[in-house]
């Protein structure tokens, strides 16, 4: 086992942060945010234990405590405070709406929500907070807690900063994230300290970065990529971190990157395209590493970032259940159209799928695979992964060199006249034909063929004949042509940046009458 894969053996997240503070800590800020907040490693640990001491007064050991906060130094301190006292942060997707947020809390039996009045007001989340209160949740405002913290508390925090306030085991739950809900009701994904730290080590094994690097993270911390990749991973390896509160600020983000000069950035294809459209040619000149996930990366996006900004976009693949990274391209091994090679110590199994000739349904096993799910119909009860194998629900193909190609989610295949058709594959063709547009392909009921395919697009010049001609040239059958192409102003998206296929399908059905 390599030094990196063994680096966190038996340690908890708080242990890993404390070790990083000893190894990399300095008088310079380790973490900054868009409000001007800045913390050294020492200040982060002191703040965590001071806040943890307060949280301990109204929570119990092992309890899930919901967090309703944006990317900020405050969320980092709150997250680490809960780690220090053996509580389990449950990261709420504040873009999901009141009913989904309440459902998430009920699923994990959270009784307390930690939030910020300033954030709730700015993000217009009053309705969600009212719904939580009506559901019996206790709202704890950070602004109120800060007023109770005095000099004695801070001195006590200094004395205890190097150790957690309560002992926790590395195989215990460390946090709960929620699936995106793009194809159904969100589930709680329970990840242990070992899961998360193993994934950090696995990524570090493949991509080199160190304390000379600085990461600019726009991905929200309620998303697995944003939390593990965008907050935990950089900090445990001493990488400086800048947290930005919203990935949707297309005009502001390029200027902020130009000002803060990070060397690395994470994003999605949609977000990277948006930033490129608004950026000056020098805005991203400091970047040496851009990693994209959550959705397929278009060839046009890669070309734009390479030619305009001199940065290679490395596509990766992951899922919340894998803490999250499963595979990633690297500067040394990068194959366009794939999501890279599997990370070390991940075992795979490809089960055959009827109607799909090459590839299979991906099952995964490894140290980063979750402890299990919590579901709405069995709240608070951990449903462990059977025999350690997680059914990803993805259909993939692994080539002779070990590169993984995503063919689509099993739910993103339609059965047209008996043939399995990849909706993601059709979407990729639309992306090639009309790279400046946004596209979503869905299937809707059809009396004659069982299902039919609809392409929703923001591209005004999208044409069925042009699509059919290109599709035929690629060797695909007529069954894979969309039955209808419909122009809409915006493709529905989730807060994570992924396409909201549930809503897209509803839109298609509404437009079809």
Distance in Å from the first CA to the final CA of the chain: 59
Classify 189 in phi/psi space as left (phi over 0), alpha (psi -120 to 50) or beta: beta
Bridge partners (DSSP) listed for residue 429: none
- The whole-number pLDDT of residue 301 equals 87
Residues 6+ apart with CB under 8 A from 421: 413, 414, 415, 453, 479, 480
Per-residue tokens: 174: 């460390």
% of the chain surpassing 90 pLDDT:
53
Return the sign of the alpha-carbon dihedral for residues 245, 251, 257, 258. negative
pTM as predicted: 0.83
Reported as a pLDDT band with limits 50, 70 and 90, residue 11 is very high
Q: For 430-446, what is the mean pLDDT?
A: 82
Q: Residues of 419-455 as b/e, b for ≥16 C-beta within 10 angstroms?
A: ebbbbbbbbbbbbebbbebbbbbbbbeeeebebbbbb
What pLDDT does 7 receive?
67
Instruction: Count CB-CB contacts under 10 A for residue 310.
Output: 12
pLDDT value of residue 2: 47
Q: Residue 454's beta-bridge partner residues?
A: 442, 484
Spatial contact of 404 and 338, defined as CB atoms under 8 Å apart: yes
User: In this structure, are residues 39 and 29 in contact, taking their beta carbons and an 8 Å threshold?
Assistant: yes
Token readout for 503 is 């809503």
Cβ neighbours of residue 493 closer than 8 Å, sequence gap 6 or more: 270, 499, 500
DSSP designation for 385: P
Sign of the CA dihedral with 229 first, then 230, 233, and 239 last: positive
Least confident residue range of 213-217, 266-270, 353-357: 353-357
Helix (H) or strand (E) run with residue 197 in it:
helix 193-206
3-state secondary structure labels for all residues of 31-63: EEECCCCEECHHHHHHHHHHHHHHHCCCCCCCC
Residue 395 has pLDDT above 80, yes or no: yes
HSE of 245, CA atoms in CB hemisphere, 13 A: 19
Per-residue pLDDT band at 172 (split at 50, 70, 90): very high
Q: Let me know: does 220 contact 352? Beta carbons within 8 Å.
A: no
Domain boundaries in the chain? 12-398, 417-512
Task: Express each pLDDT in 101-155 by its tens digit.
Answer: 999 999 999 999 999 999 999 999 999 999 999 999 999 999 999 998 888 888 8
419/354 Cα distance (integer angstroms): 9
Contact between 294 and 225 (Cβ < 8 Å): yes
Using the 8-state DSSP alphabet, how is residue 133 labeled?
H
The tens digit of pLDDT for each residue in 471-491 reads 778 777 777 788 888 888 888
Evaluate whether 371 touches 386 at the Cβ level (below 8 Å).
no
Q: Which residues contact 208 (CB under 8 A, 6 or more apart)?
A: none
Query: For residue 450, what pLDDT is reported?
Result: 65
Span of 49-63, 168-182, 227-241, 498-512 with lowest mean pLDDT: 498-512
Q: What is the dihedral of CA 67, 72, 73, 74, to 10 degrees?
A: -30
In the block, tokens 């040239």 appear at 473
Two tokens at 304?
Answer: 């734009």
Instruction: Report d(CA 160, CA 47) in Å as an integer.
Output: 11
pLDDT confidence of 4, banded at 50, 70, 90? very low
Dist. CA 230–CA 71, nearest whole Å: 10
Q: What is the pLDDT of residues 217-274, one digit of tens each?
A: 999 999 888 999 999 999 999 999 999 998 889 999 999 999 999 999 998 888 898 8
Sheet with 390-398, strands from edge to edge, namely: 347-351, 360-365, 390-398, 404-409
For the sheet containing 240-243, what is the strand order? 38-39, 31-33, 240-243, 214-217, 264-267, 289-292, 313-318, 325-328, 341-342
pLDDT confidence bin for 451, thresholds 50/70/90: confident
pLDDT at residue 79, rounded to an integer: 97
Cα–Cα dist 347/465, whole Å:
43
Q: What is the pLDDT of residues 75-105, one digit of tens each?
A: 999 999 999 999 999 999 998 888 889 999 9
Q: How many CB atoms lie within 10 A of CB 130?
A: 12
Q: Contact, 320 vs 330, CB < 8 A?
A: no
CA distances in angstroms from 110 to 168, 302, 374, 379, listed in the order given: 19, 42, 12, 10
With respect to CATH, is domain 417-512 assigned 3.30.300.30?
Answer: yes
Phi and psi angles of residue 75, each rounded to the nearest 5 degrees, phi first:
-70, -35
Tokens of 72: 């900020």
DSSP per position, 54-109: HHTTS--TT-EEEEE--SSHHHHHHHHHHHHTT-EEEE--TTS-HHHHHHHHHHTT
Q: What is the CATH number of domain 12-398?
A: 3.40.50.12780
Phi-psi region of 338 (alpha: psi -120 to 50; beta: other; left: phi over 0): beta
Reported as a pLDDT band with limits 50, 70 and 90, residue 1 is: very low
């Amino acid at each position: 086992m390599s030094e990196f894969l063994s680096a966190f053996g038996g340690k908890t997240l708080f242990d890993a942060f404390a070790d990083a503070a000893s190894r990399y800590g300095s008088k310079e800020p380790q973490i900054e945010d868009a409000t001007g907040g800045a913390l050294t490693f020492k200040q982060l640990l002191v703040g965590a234990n001071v806040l943890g001491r307060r949280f301990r007064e109204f929570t119990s050991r092992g309890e899930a405590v919901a967090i309703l906060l944006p990317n900020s130094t405050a969320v980092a301190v709150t997250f680490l405070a809960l780690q220090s006292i053996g509580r389990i942060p449950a990261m709420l997707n504040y873009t999901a709406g009141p009913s989904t947020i309440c459902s998430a809390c009920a699923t994990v039996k959270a009784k307390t929500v930690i939030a910020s009045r300033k954030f709730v007001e700015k993000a217009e989340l009053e309705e969600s907070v009212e719904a939580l209160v009506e559901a019996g949740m206790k709202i704890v405002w950070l602004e109120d807690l800060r007023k109770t913290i005095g000099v004695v508390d801070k001195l006590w925090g200094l004395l205890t900063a190097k150790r957690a306030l309560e002992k926790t085991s590395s195989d215990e739950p460390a946090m709960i994230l929620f699936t995106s809900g793009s194809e159904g009701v969100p589930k709680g994904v329970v990840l242990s300290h070992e899961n998360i730290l193993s994934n950090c080590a696995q990524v570090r094994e493949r991509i080199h970065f160190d304390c000379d690097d600085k990461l600019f993270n726009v991905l929200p911390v309620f998303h697995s990529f944003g939390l593990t990749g965008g907050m935990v991973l950089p900090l445990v390896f001493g990488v400086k971190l800048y947290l930005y509160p919203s990935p949707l600020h297309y005009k502001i983000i390029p200027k902020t990157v130009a000002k803060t000069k990070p060397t690395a950035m994470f994003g999605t294809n949609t977000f990277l395209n948006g930033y490129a459209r608004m950026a000056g040619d020098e805005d991203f000149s400091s970047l040496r590493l851009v990693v994209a996930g959550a959705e397929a990366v278009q060839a046009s996006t890669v070309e734009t970032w390479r030619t305009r900004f001199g940065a290679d976009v490395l596509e990766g693949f992951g899922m919340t259940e894998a803490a999250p990274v499963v595979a990633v391209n690297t500067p040394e091994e990068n194959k366009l159209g794939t999501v890279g090679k599997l990370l070390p110590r991940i075992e795979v199994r490809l089960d055959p799928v009827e109607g799909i000739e090459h590839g299979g349904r991906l099952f995964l096993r490894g140290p980063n695979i979750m402890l299990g799910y919590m579901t709405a119909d069995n709240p608070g009860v951990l449903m462990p992964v059977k025999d350690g194998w997680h059914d990803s629900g993805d259909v993939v193909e692994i080539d002779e060199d070990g590169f993984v190609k995503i063919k689509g989610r099993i739910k993103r295949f339609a059965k047209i006249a008996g043939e399995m058709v990849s909706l993601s594959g059709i979407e990729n063709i639309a992306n090639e034909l009309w790279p400046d547009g946004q596209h979503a392909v869905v299937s809707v009921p059809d009396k004659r063929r069982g299902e039919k395919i609809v392409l929703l697009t923001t591209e005004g010049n999208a044409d069925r004949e042009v699509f059919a001609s290109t599709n035929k040239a690629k060797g695909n059958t007529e069954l894979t042509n969309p039955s209808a192409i419909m122009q809409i102003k915006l493709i529905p998206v989730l807060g994570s940046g992924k396409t909201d296929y549930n809503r897209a399908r509803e839109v298609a059905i509404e437009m079809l009458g």
